[in-house]
């Protein structure tokens, strides 16, 4: 493609900065260069374009080492002049002078609207510049059209048609961390906190953080509370306190309004709470910390794939194609029309003002609606619930396999919803061992109070699979405790164990109860689930450590080899490589050959000879039984000679530990909600259906146990289809050692 007359690409960040913008710029720059296209950064958004002084060509190395930085290294600004035609005329002149006829604009709906207007006006602007002698006919005919692709950089997650905007996941991390910290001080002093988070018209951050932290109440713009909400809020907090809760957190989106359209301020909520509850209430306005800091693994990964897709899209644009946005839909990149998406986004405040709240919620997408349902249900849940007419029973929940962050939030959801619906919930200690030995305890409301933020599993877990000799005891215990349904939250051994129980139903009638497997393992190797609970936390743990490892390098030239978990599944290796810009990645699905090692080594030697200071290699623990981490480390060390040193780091259990990320908490809550719903449905319909759950392409799926074997490779304990495999190629091409 080199030399093809595709014009130059300009890339810019505009409007509010968002963590992950740097990863997007890096992907745009490198993908353009790979395709033989020159790429220019337009510094400080439209201001740099209007002034013309901020247009710089970028090369491969100029975007090295930017992924772990928050904000945007090419600067962003708000620019009044660009809102006027005169400003856009100057901007057009500066672009044409640099041969730029394609723009990747990374910003919010304002920036993208500006870009679309600019593109529509382009022929007229060029005609005027030609008429007044500022541009020649040749210059104008070299850039007859301005093609635009937008990427949505916005911490608010407020763009319709895109499920996650760049920066929203990181902002959620910042908010969740802050609320976790507030909760502990609130609990010590029996205090109530009103926490105000960003979101002028969008309640995503408030709602998602309310679920992730187990907040008492939340106020969001899309669904103003019904009149009299103050009494209901105080009533719920009062009953939670009576049940033993020591802290209460109310999360309010900055744009929250009541049904008359009047803003609900943090001060107002504080006054209500103080007056009614006679408690010490403090306000915390999180402000700009929500924008700051290193981007989360997801924001690095998703911004990278979106940046790549933006360039791919811009190259393939045809005359007459309208401007588009690359966004994320159903967990994949998607190209959607720019102005239609902006129009829908801007219609949300109108819907709210018109009282069409359901429509406003629907415009935010299916998962938003789902979160709202979960939050409303969880918030209203009471310790001893049950409704007349609803059948109730005793359900058991256990965790199996290695611990994974997010297991506790899932258990908490089962317990709280189960008790609210009048069921008895038994916690099985230590996975199948507890089921065999009869170590089951009745769970109570307050016991799970702060489990949203606890890593690992408070029920304990191990990797015992029930042997044939254990079935009798398990059957006896199911009967003894009168268990009417069983939820297993865990990994591969848990799935196998549950499947075996189901297969033994003919011999053990006690096993004829509905069962549910909920995917929870950092390895992310379970059928039917594109992401299992715990994988996001592990990925963030890995990315955090790699950031530190990279920064630990002194002035000497060094290559790091980092071994990550995953067993035979390369998910953690590949996605962490993509999220950290690792130059080399080895994983089992692809295998490791001597030829590959030789090529990689040659590249490393060449690159370090040319002045490289640091290189990063990520290896999945089971990538190859012979070419181990030690082997590769020694091989490269020897061959690297005086050019570079090797350092090895086996990350081990730190990948499993730690506080669950907001995503893992939300996934845990969502899957647990569905798991419990399945058991209740079976109870009502007298069914003993056994299912495993998971999200795939953004949709919740249920599969019968009988499908487990077809959907997975038993030998390597991983799904037959793995959606992330092609990310390896992208990771490599964007981090190629020598360009």
Applying CB under 6 A, the span of 109-117, 125-133, 521-529, 641-649 interacting with ligand ADP comes to: 109-117
Least separation in angstroms between CB 364 and ligand ADP = 17
Residue 15 sits in the site that holds ligand ADP (CB under 6 A): yes
Give CA 465 to chain center in angstroms: 32
The number of residues that bind ligand ADP (CB under 6 A) is: 16
Least separation in angstroms between CB 108 and ligand ADP = 3
Quick one: 108 or 199, whose CB is closer to ligand ADP?
A: 108
Site for ligand ADP in 594-653 (CB under 6 A): none
Applying CB under 6 A, among 8, 14, 493, 712 the residue interacting with ligand ADP is 14
Least separation in angstroms between CB 150 and ligand ADP = 10
Here's the x/- map for ligand ADP, 43-62, by CB under 6 A: it reads as ---x----------------
Quick one: 227 or 350, whose CB is closer to ligand ADP?
A: 350
Quick one: 115 or 531, whose CB is closer to ligand ADP?
A: 115
DSSP letter string, 476-537: HHHHHTTEEEEEEEESHHHHHHHHHHHHTTTT-GGG-S-EEEEEB-TT---TT-SS-BTHHH
Q: Which of 619, 611, 614 is nearest to 572 (CA)?
A: 619
Strand order in the sheet with 558-564: 584-586, 614-620, 558-564, 645-650
The angle subtended at Cα 515 by Cα 514 and Cα 517, nearest 5°, is: 155
Report the C-alpha gap between 6 and 17 in whole angstroms.
29
Report the C-alpha gap between 481 and 414 in whole angstroms.
18
Q: Which of 684, 280, 664 is nearest to 457 (CA)?
A: 664
Quick one: 165 or 537, whose CB is closer to ligand ADP?
A: 165
What is the C-alpha radius of gyration for the chain, rounded to an integer number of angstroms?
Answer: 27
Least separation in angstroms between CB 295 and ligand ADP = 17
Here's the x/- map for ligand ADP, 64-93, by CB under 6 A: it reads as --------------xx--xx----------
Strands (DSSP E) along 93-242, which ranges? 100-107, 147-152, 192-197, 217-219
Least separation in angstroms between CB 58 and ligand ADP = 21
Least separation in angstroms between CB 126 and ligand ADP = 18
Burial of residue 462 (number of CB atoms within 10 Å: 0-12, 13-18, 19+) = middle
Least separation in angstroms between CB 109 and ligand ADP = 5
Applying CB under 6 A, the span of 23-31, 106-114, 287-295, 493-501 interacting with ligand ADP comes to: 106-114
Which single residue brings its beta carbon nearest to ligand ADP?
A: 110
- With beta carbons less than 8 A apart as the criterion, state whether 411 and 396 touch: no
Helix (H, G, I), strand (E, B) or coil at 336: strand
The 3-class SS string of 577-644 reads HHHHCCCEEECCCCCCCHHHHHHHHHHHHHHHHCCCCEEEEEEECCCCCCCCHHHHHHHHHHHHCCCC
Quick one: 113 or 629, whose CB is closer to ligand ADP?
A: 113
Least separation in angstroms between CB 134 and ligand ADP = 21
Quick one: 10 or 107, whose CB is closer to ligand ADP?
A: 107
Here's the x/- map for ligand ADP, 489-528, by CB under 6 A: it reads as ----------------------------------------
Quick one: 167 or 514, whose CB is closer to ligand ADP?
A: 167
Applying CB under 6 A, among 8, 113, 313, 323 the residue interacting with ligand ADP is 113
Least separation in angstroms between CB 454 and ligand ADP = 36
Least separation in angstroms between CB 156 and ligand ADP = 9
Give CA 47 to chain center in angstroms: 32
Quick one: 291 or 732, whose CB is closer to ligand ADP?
A: 291
DSSP letter string, 203-272: -HHHHHHHHHHT-SEEE-SSSPPPTTHHHHHHHHHHHHHHTT---EEEEEETT-B-TTS-B--HHHHHHH
Annotation marks residue 247 as catalytic: no
Q: Pull the structure tokens for residue 587.
A: 């994983």
Quick one: 150 or 494, whose CB is closer to ligand ADP?
A: 150
Quick one: 112 or 676, whose CB is closer to ligand ADP?
A: 112
**What sign has the CA pseudo-torsion 584, 590, 596, 597?**
positive
User: Annotated catalytic residue: which of 156, 450, 470, 536?
Assistant: 156
Applying CB under 6 A, among 13, 22, 98, 111 the residue interacting with ligand ADP is 111
Applying CB under 6 A, among 7, 16, 221, 694 the residue interacting with ligand ADP is 16
β 324-329/147-152 pair status: parallel
- With beta carbons less than 8 A apart as the criterion, state whether 344 and 327 touch: no
DSSP bridge pairs for 487: 397, 516
The angle subtended at Cα 455 by Cα 449 and Cα 459, nearest 5°, is: 65
Residue 114 sits in the site that holds ligand ADP (CB under 6 A): yes
Phi, psi (5° rounding) for residue 465? -105, 135
Applying CB under 6 A, the span of 9-17, 141-149, 298-306, 731-739 interacting with ligand ADP comes to: 9-17
Applying CB under 6 A, among 52, 110, 386, 658 the residue interacting with ligand ADP is 110
Quick one: 79 or 502, whose CB is closer to ligand ADP?
A: 79
Here's the x/- map for ligand ADP, 115-134, by CB under 6 A: it reads as --x-----------------
Report the C-alpha gap between 547 and 294 in whole angstroms.
9
Applying CB under 6 A, the span of 111-119, 140-148, 374-382, 489-497 interacting with ligand ADP comes to: 111-119
Quick one: 338 or 604, whose CB is closer to ligand ADP?
A: 338
Least separation in angstroms between CB 92 and ligand ADP = 13
Quick one: 198 or 272, whose CB is closer to ligand ADP?
A: 198
CA distances from 271 to 16, 197, 275 (A): 32, 18, 6
* Residue 66 DSSP class: -
Q: Give the CA diameter of the chain.
A: 92
Site for ligand ADP in 262-291 (CB under 6 A): none
Applying CB under 6 A, the span of 101-109, 331-339, 440-448, 632-640 interacting with ligand ADP comes to: 101-109
Helix (H, G, I), strand (E, B) or coil at 176: helix
Strands (DSSP E) along 273-403, which ranges? 281-285, 324-329, 332-337, 394-400
Site for ligand ADP in 538-567 (CB under 6 A): none
Site for ligand ADP in 355-414 (CB under 6 A): none
- With beta carbons less than 8 A apart as the criterion, state whether 644 and 530 touch: no
Report the C-alpha gap between 66 and 22 in whole angstroms.
6
Residue 193 sits in the site that holds ligand ADP (CB under 6 A): no
Applying CB under 6 A, the span of 13-21, 248-256, 501-509, 636-644 interacting with ligand ADP comes to: 13-21
Which residues make up the interface to ligand ADP (CB under 6 A)? 14-16, 46, 78-79, 82-83, 107-111, 113-114, 117
Q: Which residues does the annotation mark as catalytic?
A: 156
């Amino acid at each position: 493609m080199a030399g093809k007359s595709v014009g130059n690409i300009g890339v810019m960040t505009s409007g509010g900065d968002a963590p992950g913008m740097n990863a997007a710029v890096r992907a745009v720059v490198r993908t353009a260069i790979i395709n033989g296209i020159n790429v220019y950064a337009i510094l400080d958004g439209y201001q740099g374009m209007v002034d013309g002084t901020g247009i710089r060509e970028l090369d491969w190395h100029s975007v090295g080492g930017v992924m772990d930085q928050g904000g945007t290294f090419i600067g962003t600004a708000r620019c009044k002049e660009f809102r006027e035609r005169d400003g856009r005329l100057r901007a057009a002149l500066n672009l044409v002078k640099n041969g730029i006829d394609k723009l990747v604009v990374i910003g919010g709906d304002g920036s993208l609207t500006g870009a679309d207007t600019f593109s529509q006006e382009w022929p007229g602007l060029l005609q005027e510049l030609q008429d007044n002698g500022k541009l020649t006919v040749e210059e104008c005919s070299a850039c007859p059209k301005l093609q635009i692709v937008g990427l949505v950089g916005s911490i608010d997650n407020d763009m319709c048609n895109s499920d996650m905007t760049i920066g929203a996941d990181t902002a959620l991390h910042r908010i969740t961390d802050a609320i976790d910290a507030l909760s502990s001080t609130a609990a010590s002093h029996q205090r109530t906190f009103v926490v105000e988070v960003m979101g002028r018209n969008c309640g995503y951050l408030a709602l998602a953080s309310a679920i992730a932290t187990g907040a008492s109440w939340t106020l969001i713009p899309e669904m103003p509370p019904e009149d009299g909400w103050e009494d209901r809020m105080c009533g719920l907090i009062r009953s939670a306190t009576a049940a033993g809760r020591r802290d209460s957190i109310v999360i309010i989106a900055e744009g929250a309004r009541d049904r008359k359209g009047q803003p609900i301020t943090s001060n107002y909520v504080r006054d209500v709470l103080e007056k009614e509850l006679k408690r010490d209430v403090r306000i915390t306005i999180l402000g700009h910390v929500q924008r700051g800091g290193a981007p989360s693994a997801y924001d690095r990964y998703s911004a990278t794939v979106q940046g790549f897709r933006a360039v791919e899209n811009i190259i393939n644009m045809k005359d007459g194609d309208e401007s588009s946005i690359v966004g994320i839909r159903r967990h994949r990149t998607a190209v959607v029309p720019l102005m239609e998406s902006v129009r829908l986004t801007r219609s949300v405040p109108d819907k709210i003002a018109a009282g069409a709240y359901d429509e406003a919620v629907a415009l935010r997408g299916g998962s938003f609606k789902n979160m709202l349902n979960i939050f409303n249900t969880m918030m209203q849940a009471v310790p001893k619930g049950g409704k007349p007419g609803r059948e109730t029973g005793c359900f058991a929940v256990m965790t199996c396999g290695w611990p994974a962050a997010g297991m506790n939030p899932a258990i908490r959801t089962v317990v709280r919803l189960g008790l609210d619906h009048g069921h008895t919930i038994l916690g099985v200690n230590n996975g199948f061992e507890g089921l065999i030995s009869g170590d089951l305890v009745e769970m109570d409301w307050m016991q799970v109070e702060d489990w949203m933020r606890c890593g690992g599993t408070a029920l304990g877990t191990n990797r015992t699979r029930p042997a044939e000799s254990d079935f009798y005891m398990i059957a006896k215990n199911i009967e003894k405790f009168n268990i009417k349904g069983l939820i297993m939250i865990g990994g591969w051994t848990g799935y196998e164990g549950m499947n075996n129980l189901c297969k033994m139903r003919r011999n053990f009638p006690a096993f004829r109860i509905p069962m549910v497997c909920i995917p929870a393992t950092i390895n992310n190797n379970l059928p039917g689930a594109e992401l299992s609970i715990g994988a996001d936390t592990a990925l963030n743990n890995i990315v955090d450590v790699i950031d530190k490892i990279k920064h630990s390098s002194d002035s000497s030239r060094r290559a790091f080899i980092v071994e990550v978990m995953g067993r035979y599944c390369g998910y953690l290796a590949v996605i962490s490589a993509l999220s950290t810009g690792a130059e080399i990645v080895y994983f089992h699905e692809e295998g490791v050959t001597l030829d590959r090692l030789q090529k990689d080594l040659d590249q490393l030697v060449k690159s370090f000879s040319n002045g490289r200071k640091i290189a990063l290699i990520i290896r999945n623990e089971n990538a190859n039984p012979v070419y181990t981490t030690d082997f590769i480390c020694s091989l490269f060390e020897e061959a690297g000679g005086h050019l570079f040193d090797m350092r090895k780091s086996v990350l081990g259990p730190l990948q499993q530990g730690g506080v669950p990320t907001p995503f893992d908490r939300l996934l845990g809550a969502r899957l647990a909600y569905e798991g419990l719903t399945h058991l209740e449905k079976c109870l009502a319909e007298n069914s003993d259906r056994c299912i495993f759950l998971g999200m795939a392409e953004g949709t919740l799926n249920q599969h019968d146990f009988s499908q487990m074997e077809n959907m997975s490779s038993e030998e390597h304990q991983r799904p037959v289809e793995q959606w992330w495999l092609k990310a390896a190629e992208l990771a490599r091409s964007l981090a190629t050692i020598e360009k």
